[in-house]
Amino acid sequence: MKLIDTNILIYSAELPYRTLLLPLVTDSNNVVSVVSHIETLGF
């Protein structure tokens, strides 16, 4: 299990990083904190 940071969530939406980071973000074993979730929504 990995805790995903806000920057990883934001960069996973950008085209140059999508193929590298999207599998990490969509893995059901990884988690996102409530704070990171809120920060990403604010972006």
Alpha helices for the chain (secondary structure H): 6-11, 15-26, 34-42
Tell me the β-bridge partners of 32: 4
Q: State how far the Cα of 43 lies from the Cα of 29, in Å rounded to an integer.
A: 24
For the whole model, what pTM was predicted? 0.81
* pLDDT value, residue 5: 94
Residue pLDDT, tens place only, 7-38: 999 999 999 999 999 999 999 999 999 999 99
Residue 33 CB partners (closer than 8 Å, separation 6+): 3
